[in-house]
Amino acid sequence: MKNNYIVKAALTTLLIFGSCTKLDETVYDKVDVGQFLTRRDDVIRDFLRPFEHAYWSIQGNDVYAAGENSTDEIATYNRQGDWQDGNYYQRMHYHTWTTQDGFTSGAWTAFYQGIVLATNSLQDMESITDPAKLNITATELADFKAELRTLRAWFYLRAFDFYRNIEIITDVKHTTTGNKQSTPAETFAYIESELKAALPDLPKRADLGNNGIGRWTQAGAAALLVRLYLNAQVYVNQDKFADCATVAQDIIDGKYGAYVLDTRWDAPFDYTNSTVNSETIYGFPCTLSRTHWQYDGGMYFWSMTYDAAPLYCKFTDFGQANPRFALQPGRDVDSVEYPFALGKPFVKFQRYPDDYRLKLYKNLGNSTREGMFLFGYLPYEHTVNGVTVTDTVRGNKGSYPLFIRDQVGWFLDAKPGTTISDKESDMNHADHNSGIFMLKYPLYPTPDPNRITSAYAEVRLSEIYYSLAECKYRAGDKASAAVLLNAVRKRNYPEGSASLYKTDGSQLTDQEMLDEWGREFLGENRRRTDLIRWGVFNTGTWWDKQPDADNHTAIFPIGKDIMGANPQLVQNPGYE
């Protein structure tokens, strides 16, 4: 679809909605679409409504928290009483969640509100018999339908990954009752068929131009097929790696539109990532004054200590941050690296010490930055009685400067390198020095015009390269896997760096493949799925986490509120 008016109007509508805090929408089953779809703008607004909820759903109702805290890379520590929260996050970490934990109902609600909204809008589009009367072309209408089907498939794929045994809803206009759950095989086949059916009518990115961010394209739908096939062994006990490789190669070859990898490590997350020159295949537009859900407390804005945002980064629009999410430690309180193979995300970065991302995050001016992590002392300058003085960010449990480290414990005011007598390091014993923070999306200072304008990159071309690399690796072609990984990795290191993999792929092992997935996609809420696919989510050991008794926690329970609302649902195995 090449009409710029539609693209701009659709994007504007998406941003104007602004929030998704009203989550009790009622979809009525007897409304004549002809009564409210009377002009072009009505159709566009109807089409776009589910997209705003989709953006919110990446972090809403603790979807992000559950996905990340159950893995070996991120944790929400009890910091001297802060974030103790009735051991809610501890249960995420230890895989001891119950049906009464809020996220078990919350995630289902987030996914199915999206499914219902998308289905409602799709049925509205399907009821339009004469699009010309609404100043809509037949091609445009076909596009709207295809995008809504793709969006709904994206919701279903996430629900499928989260719960596995889910219900398929295709009609919200003529029924008010829920359905029985479909089998995983039925759900897999349904998602696959929906994406394949939508593909021909979807636009390519070039058709949309720079205003296409937030719109599903052919490459976006194909990328969802890549995700589906990559995890088919887990989902339905079928090896679909060959199918995954075929679709991934087609995306890379441009069959579904032209995309190229970004050449800077930070570009996929910077304010330019919504343009046709970026590697973003599908993303959600973000602005300071409207929607910016990845900068919400459910994700990255609460991934730093309290005063890091206003004092160190000089970003004052949102006030203080909050240390809800931090990296899990790679070292004990005596700075000795832990022996387990999993986890230790910062240590895994340090294995390649010339990685640009390892630098301390620092704003450089003119909408640029360096580094991806917050660690050590965080100095800042301020004025006292007309004199500029340098201070250091502090916590809220004492007046001492924080020294943020790749360790968890009660360091309090101990200087770096000082041995402390308290050797305890676990989820319930952390202070505000504990755990390195990640700033993947930039936090440019107020009043930088490009602050909080990076699109949320839900699907990146890098994911397609890594997925194809994994398929090659599993097929025994380590050399091709190394080439594919290096095509992305080279932007993380200086020219000619020894950190690039040898071209024969001899350095690649199962653990290294999993480590590299973790480095490139740290904090992007796919680690749980990757750990499950590699068979270590339930059997693995990482910081303060022993193997599970069995593998039933590979899927989450359906929350008690959801079970109570639909008596046809059967609880997932292993849960009461």
Tokens encoding 486: 């290096």
Chain segment 259-290, per-residue pLDDT in tens: 999 999 999 999 999 999 999 999 999 999 99
- The predicted pLDDT at position 1 comes to 34
| Nearest to 564, CA basis, from 105, 111, 171, 167 | 105
| Nearest to 112, CA basis, from 63, 68, 48, 45 | 63
- The predicted pLDDT at position 32 comes to 56
Question: In whole angstroms, what is the distance from residue 84 CA to residue 78 CA?
Answer: 5
Determine how many CB atoms are found less than 10 A away from the CB of residue 228: 24
Considering the chain, what is the average pLDDT of its residues?
Answer: 94
Chain segment 508-562, per-residue pLDDT in tens: 999 999 999 999 999 999 999 999 999 999 999 999 999 999 999 999 999 999 9
Chain segment 344-384, per-residue pLDDT in tens: 999 999 999 999 999 999 999 999 999 999 999 999 999 98
Question: In whole angstroms, what is the distance from residue 74 CA to residue 471 CA?
Answer: 27
Residue that has been written with the tokens 């194809």 in this structure: 468
The helix or strand, by DSSP H or E, that contains position 390, with its residue range, turns out to be strand 387-392
Could you tell me where the DSSP H helices lie in 127-163?
A: 138-163
- The predicted pLDDT at position 159 comes to 98
Chain segment 191-243, per-residue pLDDT in tens: 999 999 999 999 999 999 988 999 999 999 999 999 999 999 999 999 999 99
- The predicted pLDDT at position 25 comes to 43
- The predicted pLDDT at position 30 comes to 45
Tokens encoding 278: 């970026």
Chain segment 124-167, per-residue pLDDT in tens: 999 999 999 999 999 999 999 999 999 999 999 999 999 999 99
Phi-psi region of 358 (alpha: psi -120 to 50; beta: other; left: phi over 0): alpha
| pTM of the predicted protein model | 0.94
Residue that has been written with the tokens 């003085």 in this structure: 389
Tokens encoding 258: 């032209």
- Omega prior to 447 cis, within 30 of 0: yes
Tokens encoding 67: 């996905």
Cβ contact 406:347 at 8 Å: yes
Chain segment 400-434, per-residue pLDDT in tens: 999 999 999 999 999 999 999 999 999 999 999 99
- Counting residues of the chain whose pLDDT is more than 90, the rounded percentage is 91
Chain segment 28-79, per-residue pLDDT in tens: 444 455 567 999 999 999 999 999 999 999 999 999 999 999 999 999 999 9
Cβ contact 309:443 at 8 Å: yes
Determine how many CB atoms are found less than 10 A away from the CB of residue 574: 14
Residue that has been written with the tokens 């079970």 in this structure: 563
- The predicted pLDDT at position 33 comes to 57
